Structure 1
Amino acid sequence: VITKIPSVYADNGKYNVYGKGEALIFVNGKRLIDYEELSRLSSKDISSIVLDNNPGAGYDATVKAVIHIKTVKKVGDGLSGNVSAMYQQAHYASTTDGVNINWRKGGLDIFGSLFYSFTQTYQKQSDTKETWKNGDTWNMQNEIKILGKNTASISPKLGINYSFNDKHTVGISYSLTHSPNNKINIIQSQDVKQNGQPLQTILYDDDTRRKNKPTHLNNIYYRGKIGRWDIAFDNDIIASHTKSIQNIKQESEKSGKQNVNSTNNEDNTMVASKLVVSHPIGRGKMDVGGEFIYTDRQQKYVNEQNIIASTDDHIEESKYAGFISYSTPLGKAQIRAGMRYEHTVSDYYEKDVWVAGQSRSYDKLFPNASISFPIGKSNINVGYTMKTRRPSYRELSSNMQYDDAFTYESGNPLLRPEMIHDITMSASYRWIYMNVSFQHVTDAITNTVEMLDEADTPINVMSTTNRSSLNKYSATLSLTPRIGIWSPRLAMSLMGQNLKIPYRGGTKKLNNPLLFASLHNTVSLPDNYLLSADVITHTYGNNNIVMMKPSWQINIGLVKNIKLWTIQLQGMDIFRTARNSFIIYGTSLRYNKWNYSDSQAVKLSISYRFNPTNSKYKGTGAGNDEKSRLSL
């Protein structure tokens, strides 16, 4: 259902908006952290879905799009819940099973859930790296298989919600996500040539294990109404620990055998509070609020052989935000405007020593304004907003990751947040929707590939950097008519940029726009059957320093509803045509990659709901974007 919203597309389990990036998703006002929750929500329970392309001042300045889902309001005491099971067969089998339980008596809700998933993945890749150093041309031809083994996770959740009356509600919830032993095995054969002459063949066996401790998330909230004032107060606490162990066995006839063994430990703690009060003024409503977020992240990386320098990073960050917004009708128009102020202090420590050059302090104002108005039977919305994107903590890390003998990956502790000035216009008329957006980005965070000068061989380091400015644009057209039992949706989105990068002593323009197109078809059949067939494709085009190669796929599905049972059978990428293939350009590198990521699959989902009712839990969370920066 979500991917049928104009401008929205799914990508690796996330939901993005063309020209905006990843969208936050709220269900009945509560921010989703675990996207698996969406698979547990029946489409029959959805009353409305709204996409906000211009989030107001109440959201973090990094939030560029928000999807609001409201479910059908249900009443009733007693025990209710649902049980679901999903089996997917691709190259290997995967499964997800779980149960949701809710008990209600008067104003009291006690709820819980338990989900278990077991995932195995398969990926096949061929790539060619052409690089230049000291007048020599080097070529590396790689054949790679990537196997995700025994990736299991368990996710229990408990919560209590109590409504004293229709004016005062409190609640507390605790959730845990535990993936104790994720494994990824990468088998690679690399043929190396120098100036066209075979040099050596290197074999790699890369075994990486993530030994995670449970990730804990606690939320406490209050919703109240005093006179004409509405009050919303949220508090979140998050704690997580991840230990990654990478063991690479490397062998060639020229350099012999070599092991690259490393350990990376990450510890994260976040505490956040958010208070919003609302009051009607005139015909409109004013929201005033504040938010506090404290984050502590420690990362230690050790390479036994000292091929890559060991690092010990520690980042402490505090953010204080205040905001005010006002929305009101003006004739037939609706006006919304707001201002958000953020004060951020980020202290960077290397081996417990404070590093002044990598520590930051920011004070920023983020205005936004929009107007919606009808023209005949159509509706127009025009808005301006100033947003930011802060580098993730992994992007700020100073440690280097070993990919192979000629390729490393690194963070950049000197990264600055980028500032985004966004103008968006949308128009809708019956089943026609159009959206146009332009963004001017200063201190733009972009990928980069640079040669490691001190090395004798050509080692390219993939990282990120700030560029002075970057312009982006996007345009979307969506047609969603209904023709009897057939509900088609044709969507086309164009995305472009004006990026130039240094390349082989000159510059290279990466300005080819990307065109995404999809045709979703749904047919309502007798006896509560629903048939779907989707075609999804995109053309050549640039995104950041990447030239995406064309890809297309066809998905089909059949849904059968039998009273409180829902059975769904899906065939994904039935012709095995979907690819994640591209070309990356660096200062002295052209990296051409062909990739198949196990997209062809058959999936069977079965769910049963009994005494359906919704929890009254109203906590929306605090520090929501910071959770994404932690990559939880």
Structure 2
Amino acid sequence: MKRLSTCILLLAMAICASGQTLTGKVTDEQQQPLSYANVVFLSLPDSAFVAGAVSGEDGSFSLSAEGGKGVLKVSCIGYTTLYKDCGPGEQLSLQLKADAQLLDEVVVKGDLPKTRLKGSSMITTVAGSVLEKAGTAENLLDRIPGVSAGGGAVSVFGRGAAEVYINGRKVRDSSELDQLASDNIKSVEVINNPGARYAASVKAVVRITTKRAPGEGFGFNNRAYAKYNKDWTVLDQFNFNYRSGGFDLSGMLAASDGHAWSERNVVQDTYLDKLWNQHMHMDEKEHSQNLYTMLSANYTFGNGHALGVRYNWKRQPRYDSWGTLDSEVLQNGEQDELLRSVYESTSRETSHTLNFYYAGQVGKWNIDFNADALWNGNDTDGFTDEQVTTPSGTETDRRQVNTFSRADNSLYAGKLVLSREWLGGELSLGGEYSHNTHGNDYVNPEGLLEDDHSEIREGNASGFVEYGRSFGSVYVQAGVRFEHVAADYYEGDKRVESQSKQYNDWFPSATVVVPAGNVQLALSYASDIVRPSYHMLRGNIVYNNRYTYESGNPLLRPQVAQNLILNAVYDWTQLTLGYVHTKDAIVTTSIPYSDTDPSIALLTNTNAPAYNHTFASLSLTPTIGIWSPQLTAAVVKQWYHTDTPWGRLNLDKPLVSLSWENSLKLPGGFLLNADASWSSLGHEENTEVKRQLWSVNAMLYKGFLNDRLTFQLQATDLFNSTRSRSLVYLGSLRTFYTDAEPNSRSVSLTIRYKFNAAKSKYKGTGAGSSQKNRM
């Protein structure tokens, strides 16, 4: 924390006094804030460029107006450009009018989701489009070109998992995407090159901007959800908000009770002096219960200053999983023995998260400060009863294995970002520091597996600088980030030198945006990193059966990638091309558990040799009357070499996917979504996809009482068709074949009622994001 305090002090000293400025706010015809509007101050009488700015999420802007009276030019895609005479020191309220276009005698105004490039971001306007009726924020994100969302996870094509922000605050709990209705969303910004401002482990960012909140006083939003998939999952969530002037108090209470199941067949082949085949059938069920609470307070004062605090508490009183594992073991094709394992596991988890933030402006500098703290603990009890018999049915051995594990995490982090207009562009700089501790205790009373009492203490200090500016119609942004990571690994109270590491890494990034006629082009370069999760770094061994164990690898190195991405947008057509060079990719492998019995497989993680891959995606999103289709075609091709029992193979077969999403506005205010998707055979790192996948989904949405009461009926994987088959090459001794029964077919109903529902003004963005993700 001393480093953080020093960094904050030095940066704060750089803030200087304000000069002559123009400030104001840009809104649309409904008085909703317009973000990302271009605001340019031109001198008189020559109309020379003086300064420029882009309106923020709340529509506000501030720019230098030195030199006396001039003309302010305000423009935004989809709106008529506004010119206004003004001078230094003025505070302006500017309203833009929508620009209706006459195309083939059909007036298109707001029904088509507009997507435009802004730097390396692709911004989709949701307000006024068919996307407003998608249902929840998660439903909406799954319909944004290049984005897939489901089960609380959000990913961007070609980049992987994305961090999601709502009005600048990072989403920590996937339920937030469910509690946010799509008709309260103004725009979605997809960034596949987040730049130096974000941690180097962040490959993509999705930023959601909501509409301006209605009303003072008390409001609430209640959601009831039920899903059936061979058993019931139910959830009820109550959100409230109280607003008075600049004070804002909001909270959330939620509880869920869920069931899940999985069934799959696995064949593990081991190539030694004999060929060992283990044919396994797994049948598992899960039952979880969760409680969630959140309370936040926010106060806005003065000219754009805001501060607040937010507390989240999550309790999982129980997570039970149980099932059977039946195995048939063969030597050189002849049955050797049969195994039957009956297992059960019970977990309990409690998590606390605290965030404090300040956002404001001092002189010409915008300030964004966040401090975070996190504590959580997880206890897991496991039991396995394994019976071994001969092919004739005679029992030869019986083994019972009990395990207990506890994982504890703590994190303290701070982040400061300063930005201002400088030399006709925007300069951003800042720093972040986090310290976290991960403790792991693992006990096996029978002594079959070694006990583990380990701890990782890690400090992460980083700093960045980024600058962006327009040169005529060309926009350029460049930045660099430095990260210092020092991790100490302890066994008991003894520091283990070989597993303690330090890293000092630089991560440059750059973007160039160039118009080519009516086509917007953005070329981006970025370097990013994937640091191993603490689960991957664990030292304990987990018992599956007598032939298969699992473990972490404390010697794993981070995975580093160099990325080159091209985005192109023309009207309702979007194209993305990418090239990636990956070093030390983290993949699953297998090694012999012991030299005395190499037939026992120890599944673990390792770093693969460097490889390259490319990706391409094309999306078409027109609107034809009441029909809004979206057709997307994508391909990923890699050049990856791996060791197999048959020698070294080149895995380079491309993976192709197609999706066809359709929204239909029906009479009576109903909205019907009908979607289909398909993916091909191919290779992904050391995995070979052995079966084509396809699925069909449908959703019916209807609102009543001016959408205060809404119903959403959804059917997923109607034909139960997503049965997957894959072959994983686990080094020169083993392969792992999986045939998984689909468990995705389900039907769900969501009922939401809201009264004077106002979104919180909370602006905290959080700190230590990359470390939290690893926990």
> What's the TM-score once normalised by structure 1's chain length?
0.97
What are the superposed Cα offsets for residues 565-613 of structure 1, whole Å, 9 maximum, x if unpaired?
1100011111111124311111212221111242111100000111122
Number of residues of Structure 1 aligned to a counterpart in Structure 2 = 627
1:229 paired to 2:365: yes
Corresponding residue for residue 721 of structure 2: 577
Which structure 2 residues correspond to residues 341-420 of structure 1 after superposition, within 5 A? 341-420=482-561
Specify the SS of the correspondent of 1:391: coil
Corresponding residue for residue 431 of structure 2: 290
Which structure 2 residues correspond to residues 29-428 of structure 1 after superposition, within 5 A? 29-133=168-272, 135-149=273-287, 151-212=288-349, 214-254=350-390, 255-428=396-569
Corresponding residue for residue 630 of structure 2: 489
Code of the residue aligned with 1:509 in structure 2: it is N
Quickly say closer, same or farther: Cα 1:306–1:209, change in 2 above 3 A: same
Corresponding residue for residue 598 of structure 1: 743
What are the superposed Cα offsets for residues 453-500 of structure 1, whole Å, 9 maximum, x if unpaired?
424261222211123412122111111111111111111221222221
Code of the residue aligned with 1:514 in structure 2: it is L
What are the superposed Cα offsets for residues 528-569 of structure 1, whole Å, 9 maximum, x if unpaired?
110011112211122222112321111111000112111000
Specify the SS of the correspondent of 1:299: strand
Quickly say closer, same or farther: Cα 1:611–1:489, change in 2 above 3 A: same
Farther off after superposition, 305-314 or 152-161: 305-314
Corresponding residue for residue 441 of structure 1: 582
CA distance in 2, matches of 1:624, 1:457: 41
Contact 1:7 1:493 in 2 (8 A): no
CA offset at residue 52 of structure 1? 0.4
CA offset at residue 49 of structure 1? 0.5
What are the superposed Cα offsets for residues 26-74 of structure 1, whole Å, 9 maximum, x if unpaired?
1101100101110111110111001001111110011110001100012
Code of the residue aligned with 2:313 in structure 1: it is L
Corresponding residue for residue 661 of structure 2: 520
What are the superposed Cα offsets for residues 175-232 of structure 1, whole Å, 9 maximum, x if unpaired?
01111110011212111111111111111111011122x2000000001111111100
What are the superposed Cα offsets for residues 378-416 of structure 1, whole Å, 9 maximum, x if unpaired?
100001111111111111111111122222211111111
Contact 1:18 1:495 in 2 (8 A): no
Code of the residue aligned with 2:328 in structure 1: it is D
Code of the residue aligned with 2:570 in structure 1: it is Y
CA distance in 1, matches of 2:703, 2:774: 39
Highest relative contact order (Cα 8 Å, sep 6+), 1 or 2? 1
Corresponding residue for residue 697 of structure 2: 555
Q: Which one of 715, 730, 734 corresponds to residue 586 of structure 1?
A: 730
Corresponding residue for residue 712 of structure 2: 568
CA offset at residue 94 of structure 1? 0.3
CA distance in 2, matches of 1:613, 1:268: 34
Contact 1:206 1:249 in 2 (8 A): yes
CA offset at residue 12 of structure 1? 4.5
Quickly say closer, same or farther: Cα 1:86–1:328, change in 2 above 3 A: same
* Aligned-pair identity (%): 32
Specify the SS of the correspondent of 1:100: strand
Quickly say closer, same or farther: Cα 1:328–1:455, change in 2 above 3 A: same
Code of the residue aligned with 2:266 in structure 1: it is D
Specify the SS of the correspondent of 2:367: strand
CA distance in 2, matches of 1:245, 1:452: 24
The CA RMSD measured in Å over matched residues stands at 1.3
Corresponding residue for residue 9 of structure 2: none
Code of the residue aligned with 2:388 in structure 1: it is S
Farther off after superposition, 599-608 or 436-445: 436-445
CA distance in 1, matches of 2:215, 2:593: 65
CA distance in 2, matches of 1:448, 1:256: 29
CA distance in 2, matches of 1:621, 1:338: 21
CA distance in 1, matches of 2:180, 2:304: 28
1:607 paired to 2:743: no
Which structure 2 residues correspond to residues 506-545 of structure 1 after superposition, within 5 A? 506-545=647-686
Structure 1: give runs of 5+ residues left out of the alignment. Answer: none
Specify the SS of the correspondent of 1:4: coil
Code of the residue aligned with 1:196 in structure 2: it is G
CA offset at residue 11 of structure 1? 5.5
CA distance in 2, matches of 1:403, 1:528: 53
Structure 2: give runs of 5+ residues left out of the alignment. Answer: 1-139, 391-395
What are the superposed Cα offsets for residues 434-462 of structure 1, whole Å, 9 maximum, x if unpaired?
11111112222222222334242612222
Code of the residue aligned with 1:591 in structure 2: it is F
CA distance in 2, matches of 1:479, 1:524: 19
CA distance in 2, matches of 1:468, 1:136: 29
Quickly say closer, same or farther: Cα 1:11–1:602, change in 2 above 3 A: closer
Code of the residue aligned with 1:269 in structure 2: it is S
CA distance in 2, matches of 1:204, 1:552: 33
Specify the SS of the correspondent of 2:522: strand
CA distance in 1, matches of 2:243, 2:373: 26
CA offset at residue 376 of structure 1? 1.1
Corresponding residue for residue 767 of structure 2: 622
Contact 1:107 1:165 in 2 (8 A): no
CA distance in 2, matches of 1:269, 1:199: 48
CA offset at residue 161 of structure 1? 0.4
Contact 1:6 1:476 in 2 (8 A): no
CA distance in 2, matches of 1:510, 1:21: 20
The structure richer in strand per residue is 1
Quickly say closer, same or farther: Cα 1:217–1:88, change in 2 above 3 A: same
Quickly say closer, same or farther: Cα 1:405–1:496, change in 2 above 3 A: farther
Contact 1:420 1:442 in 2 (8 A): yes
Code of the residue aligned with 1:253 in structure 2: it is T
CA offset at residue 508 of structure 1? 2.2
CA distance in 2, matches of 1:538, 1:406: 34
Q: Which one of 617, 640, 643 corresponds to residue 502 of structure 1?
A: 643
Farther off after superposition, 478-487 or 300-309: 300-309
Q: Which one of 611, 624, 628 corresponds to residue 470 of structure 1?
A: 611
CA distance in 2, matches of 1:418, 1:143: 33
1:10 paired to 2:114: no
